[in-house]
Structure 1
Amino acid sequence: MLEPEMVAFVERTKSLYPSDRAVSTVVEQRAMYERLAAAFTPPLPDGVRTHDAPFTSPDGHTFMLRLYAPFERERSSGTVLYFHGGGFVVGSLASHDLITARIAADTGLCVIAVDYRLAPEHPAPAAHDDCLAVTRAALDGRLPFGPLPASLQLAGDSAGATLAASVAMRLRDEGVKGVRGLALVYPMLGVEPQSPARETEADAPMLTLADVRRYSALYWGDQAGNEADGADSGMRASVSARVAWTIPLEASRYDGLPPTLAIGVEHDPLRDDARLFAERIRAAGGQAHAPVGKGLVHGSWRALATSPGVQWMHGEVCRFLSDRAAE
């Protein structure tokens, strides 16, 4: 059952973000998403300032970063890289301004949002490559914002959580240390959602199973193991290896990851992605917690001003990030 405040949120969202948006062009879908986000985005919280700067990755791609920092930035105890959701297809720095600004305001941490490349113009692993490059630069002190607190964590929602988890796993595989925590909200961690939510929440408000599959196809296409017939085995192996690291629930190991918070929400076909990811981390000897937001839907973080359930969820994320930065 939806939380009463969630019912109102869903109805308002429907008026701004039509359910038949899939028939629109990608450009039109992005415009709709930005209008939806703007309707729920308040002015910047007191005590937080922003600074935008371009970042160029080692492979030559330039995209924007946005720093949210407390006025007394030198007193901040940590830095968070935040990767926005949107199915790898929609979303921007502006679309998640509410979330990133409030994390900064409520934790006192420096939060950096990443405007990574989007599909279908830039299919897998483009978004992952961008986020990995930014994370490496952050660990090396090479971001374009001057000195930042050295304590680094990764966070993201939906597809952005895929990016955060994948980057943490890739760095683990490379023996790179320095990421202290991983905070994931209604994460999309596989090409296909996990059961039983895949079946029970296939027609959930805000995000359906059909939506998930459409976004997956636009980003991963046939690269995630369904290469076209006729390709030789060497080419299939090469293509699969190129994107295998971008799908956290397809990984072969779950040890060595930073402490993880993975929050699923009740009415979401992706709900069990968080549960399964946390179970695998714990089975490998790691620390992971996967609470469920009762009565909430995918994308509900935008209802922070009105929903008690979302306020609980936001509080869990902020406490986790604050605690990890202080250790």
Structure 2
Amino acid sequence: MPLDPPLSALLDQLNATPAPRIRDTDPEELRKAQRQLGAGLPAPETPAVGSVEDASVPGPARDIPVRVYRPATDGPVPTVVFFHGGGWITGDLDSHDDVTRRLCRDVEAVVVAVDYRLAPEHPFPAAYDDCLAAARHIADHIADYGARPDRLALAGDSAGANLAAAVALAFRDEHRPLAAQLLVYPATDFDGTYPSRTENAAGYLLSRQDVLDLQTLYAGDDPAVRACARVSPLRADSHAGLAPAVIATAQYDPLRDEGDAYAAALTRAGVDVFARTYDGLIHAFLHLTRLSPAADEAVTELHAQLKTRLA
């Protein structure tokens, strides 16, 4: 399917100015560029939620900042712990504020967004350790976050989806109940060879070289580290017993095939999986719903699938 026309126009604009290589750029400059890119997109309608509160939870190295979104719904509701994307080196609570507000509104759940430590200042396992600690704390204090212990989910996009998948594996191994996981264009295999990495190598916002650089800045070059399930969830010894999964990939994304491979691996292991590759879309479409009706429809479907699993 052809590239979605509004996204094609956006890419024409972005590709007119070549971006510097990630590994050669100061991380703070990358974070600044991400904020500027977000500011240049059409302003989204701010989804209405019941309340928003900045707080913190205990972490392995510091208190971890979180932002708690509560729906207008009365009574106990499901809880979604959300890990933002940004290649493990950019992103924060503000970069995904509209994403998490909409998730709260659409799913009618408490959403707890986690501001984990970023690479390269804090390489693996810092982000993973923070996300696991935050998810454990929320699960152990569920009365403060939605109050339904049987309806806890993990969610994330891109690097955040990688972290959500890895934490879901840990929850399974710890026999902690988890009702669902929402993984949007997840990175699942650091050293695999996939056609989408070549087909979508350049020109689609996230390049093949970007993926290689980001993964190295996060997890380094040690093959044993890169292949462990905490970094490459697709390489886990078993995927049996994992929480039901909603997995989304985009046609024009270098991460497409490894996300599809993860959905297939979970399906083979007997996990309930809703998987969809969204034709015409690119990486980061969660942020492009105001620009692209097709992206908006995709997010609506994903949230409906998650809500069904949390009902």
Name which of structure 1's ranges 189-198 and 85-94 shifts more when overlaid on structure 2. 189-198
Q: Answer yes or no: is 1:188 the counterpart of 2:152.
A: no
Query: How many angstroms apart in 1 are the aligned matches of 2:191 and 2:294?
Result: 26
1:55 aligns with 2:40: no
Letter matched to residue 302 of structure 1: H
Unaligned runs of 5+ in 1: 226-238
Q: Distance in 2 between matches of 1:142 and 1:61?
A: 21
Equivalent residue of 1:293, what SS? strand
1:198 aligns with 2:197: yes
**SS of the residue 1:292 aligns to:** strand
Please give the residue correspondences for 1:268-287 in structure 2 after superposition, counting only pairs within 5 Å: 268-287=253-272
Shift of 1:13: 4.9
Which residue identity does 2:7 align to in structure 1?
M
What amino acid does structure 2 have at the position aligned with 1:107?
V
Q: Structure 1 residues 110 and 142, CA, compared in 2 at 3 Å: closer, same or farther?
A: closer
**TM-score, length-normalised on structure 1?**
0.87
Counterpart AA for 2:243: P
Residues 76 and 108 of structure 1 are in contact (CA less than 8 Å); yes or no, is this contact kept in structure 2?
no
Q: Specify which of 231, 245, 262 is matched with residue 246 of structure 1.
A: 231
- Structure 2 equivalent of residue 209 of structure 1: 208
Deviation at 1:163, TM superposition (A): 0.3
Count of residue correspondences: 307
Give 1:31's aligned residue: 32
Q: Which amino acid aligns with 2:231?
A: T
Quick one: distance in 2 between partners of 1:254 and 1:244?
10
- Counterpart in 2 of 1:233? none
Change over 3 Å in CA distance of 1:12–1:48 after alignment to 2: farther
Identity %, equivalent residues:
36
Match of 1:5 in 2: 6
Q: In the alignment, which residue of structure 1 is the partner of 2:91? A: 91
Q: Is the 8 A contact 1:49 1:70 kept in 2?
A: yes
Aligned residue for 2:307? 322
1:78–1:149 CA contact under 8 A, matched in 2 = yes
Alpha-carbon offset, residue 249 of structure 1: 1.5
Find the counterpart in structure 1 of residue 244 from structure 2: 259
Deviation at 1:142, TM superposition (A): 6.2
**Is the contact between residue 188 and residue 233 of structure 2 (CA under 8 Å) also seen in structure 1?**
yes
Tell me whether 1:102 sits opposite 2:87 in the alignment.
no
After superposition, the Cα gap between the structure-2 partners of 1:39 and 1:102, relative to the gap in structure 1 and judged at 3 Å, is farther
Q: Partners of 2:146 and 2:299 in 1: how far apart?
A: 27
Counterparts of 1:192 and 1:213 in 2: how far apart (Å)? 9
247, 270, 274: which one aligns with 1:289: 274
